[in-house]
Amino acid sequence: MVIILKNNISNNQENNLRTLFRNKKIDVIPVLNRKNKMFVVTGRCGEMAMKEIESNKAVSSVIKVNRAYKLASKSFKNSRSVIKLNELNIGGKEIVIMAGPCSVETKLQINHISEGVKLAGCKVLRGGAFKPRTGPYDFQGLGEIGLKYLKEAARISSLKVVTEVMDVRDIEIIEKYTDIFQVGARNMQNYPLLKELGKLRKPVLLKRGMWATYKELLLASEYILLGGNENVILCERGIRTHVPETRFTLDLNAVAYLKHETHLPIFVDPSHGTGRANMVRAMSRAAIAAGADGLIIETHIDPRKSISDADQAISLQELTKLVNEVRLISLAVGRSL
Ligand code: PEP
Ligand code: MN
């Protein structure tokens, strides 16, 4: 249950409501987002108490949600959430494509890629500067200098930036350079990180863990929403299956399922989802046909020379083809690009 307070209530009125919760032993978590002050009821609340809450002067409405995740659920909000980044709308009618290298490697590399990403018709430049690598001897990313290159490249091309944050201790520095925080698959359940990002108002692209259920993904998003940050984008990036021929199995069921369960925008990453450059275009088309609100794609000026994830990087020419094909699919499903 979510209790939404009226705007402009006095401190006294709010305290009376809190006293009511205390007396009735109703456990709540307060949430303050850009629009509303709310209380999420975490425990049980009987019919009688519910009536009293509903008629309390401070309360605007009470929304019943019969899911473990409350703020992410469709019962809480039935209209689709649109995240606004200046003139860019994420989750609206228009499909948004984010693209760029797996890792920022050099200033020249990211500048070249950024230009190609813009020309292809994408709106957001991706690139990792803090990389989650399987082996500790693998390239770990350029760190802050990589963020500088990324931001500057995006500025020149008038693109927004998305980059990964792995550690609470890096949030402050990454925030200076990015428009969207990416939480990678391996950190989907890094709860201290999610809670900290919930305190900010910058959008968070939350990738599904390769092991995670849909419910676990939605509950992870709830940690961010509960902090008052409503700007969460969910991202399907493939799961571990018995199939050895692809790096992961891109689970497009997730898109259709999540569309019914949540109002949050849903993105798909066909690069990690397949691990194979020659499958990325096909799975991009399929993702948009399934109802995804956007894509995040790995591209490189010289794909085979990518320092990380070379097998799945597509060329800028291929990216242009991809965008043109996805544009046609977008129109067929009542979207635009
Ligand atoms: C990435 O985007 O480069 C990445 C590491 O993604 P994921 O967390 O989905 O593996
Ligand atoms: Mn990658």
Q: Quick one: pLDDT at residue 214?
A: 98
Q: What φ, ψ does residue 114 adopt, rounded to 5°?
A: -60, -45
Measured in Å, residue 39 CA sits from the centre of ligand 1 at 34
Nearest ligand, CA 300? 2
Distance 50 CA to ligand 1 centre (A): 44
For tokens 């803090």, what's the residue? 130
- For atom 3 of ligand 1, the residue with the nearest CA is 102
| E-strand stretches of the chain | 2-5, 28-32, 37-41, 59-63, 83-85, 88-90, 96-100, 124-126, 160-164, 180-183, 204-207, 232-236, 266-268, 294-298
Residue 10, Cβ density class (10 Å: 0-12 exposed, 13-18 middle, ≥19 buried): exposed
DSSP secondary structure letter of residue 45: -
Element (H, E) at 155: helix 144-156
Q: Which residues contact 299 (CB under 8 A, 6 or more apart)?
A: 99, 100, 101, 113, 116, 117, 313, 314, 315, 316, 318, 319
Residues with CB under 5 A from ligand 2 (ion): 102, 309
**How far, in Å, is the centroid of ligand 1 from the Cα of 185?**
6
2-63 CATH: 3.30.70.1140
Cβ contacts of residue 276 below 8 Å, gap of 6+?
Answer: 246, 247, 311, 312
- Pick the residue whose CA is nearest to atom 6 on ligand 1: 184
Query: What's the pLDDT score for residue 35?
Result: 86
State which ligand 1 atom lies nearest to the alpha carbon of 182.
2
**Closest-lying ligand to the alpha carbon of 184?**
1
| Ligand 2 mean position, distance from CA 309 (Å) | 5
25: its two tokens: 């032993």
Nearest ligand (C-alpha, residue 308): 2
Mutate to test the pocket of ligand 1, among 217, 235, 269, 311 (most ligand atoms within 8 A of CB): 269
Taking the CA atoms of residue 202, residue 203, residue 208 and residue 212 in that order, the dihedral angle to the nearest 10 degrees is 60
Distance 184 CA to ligand 1 centre (A): 5
Q: Candidates 134, 182, 190, 267: which one to mutate for ligand 1, based on the most atoms within 8 Å of Cβ?
A: 182
Give the residue, by CA position, lying nearest to ligand 1 atom 10: 185
Strand order across the 28-32 sheet: 28-32, 37-41, 2-5, 59-63
Residue nearest to atom 9 of ligand 1 (CA): 185
The torsion region of residue 110 among left (phi > 0), alpha (psi -120 to 50) and beta comes to: alpha
CA-nearest residue, atom 4 of ligand 1: 184
Distance 189 CA to ligand 2 centre (A): 19
Q: According to the model, what pLDDT value does residue 33 have?
A: 87
Q: Which ligand is nearest to the CA of 237?
A: 1
Residues of the chain with CATH 3.20.20.70: 83-332
Per-residue pLDDT for the chain (337 aa), expressed as one digit of tens each? 999 999 989 999 999 999 999 999 999 999 998 888 999 999 888 888 889 999 999 999 999 999 999 999 999 999 999 999 999 999 999 999 999 999 999 999 999 999 999 999 999 999 999 999 999 999 999 999 999 999 999 999 999 999 999 999 999 999 999 999 999 999 999 999 999 999 999 999 999 999 999 999 999 999 999 999 999 999 999 999 999 999 999 999 999 999 999 999 999 999 999 999 999 999 999 999 999 999 999 999 999 999 999 999 999 999 999 999 999 999 999 999 9
Which one of the ligands is nearest to 210 CA?
Answer: 1
* Contact between residue 153 and residue 113 where contact means Cβ atoms under 8 Å apart: yes
Distance from the alpha carbon of residue 128 to the mean position of ligand 2, in angstroms: 8
**Ligand 1 pocket at CB < 6 A:** 102, 128, 132, 184-186, 207, 237, 269, 272
> 100 φ, ψ to 5°?
160, -175
Residue 134 CB partners (closer than 8 Å, separation 6+): none
**pLDDT value of position 121:** 98
* N residues, the chain: 337
Q: What is the CATH number of domain 83-332?
A: 3.20.20.70
What is the amino acid identity at position 176?
A: K
Between CA 267 and CA 234 the distance in angstroms is 6
CB 287 within 8 A of CB 295: yes
Return the closest-CA partner of residue 270 out of 242, 302, 298: 298
Contact call for residues 2 and 41 (beta carbons, < 8 A)? yes
Domain(s) of CATH 3.30.70.1140: residues in the chain = 2-63
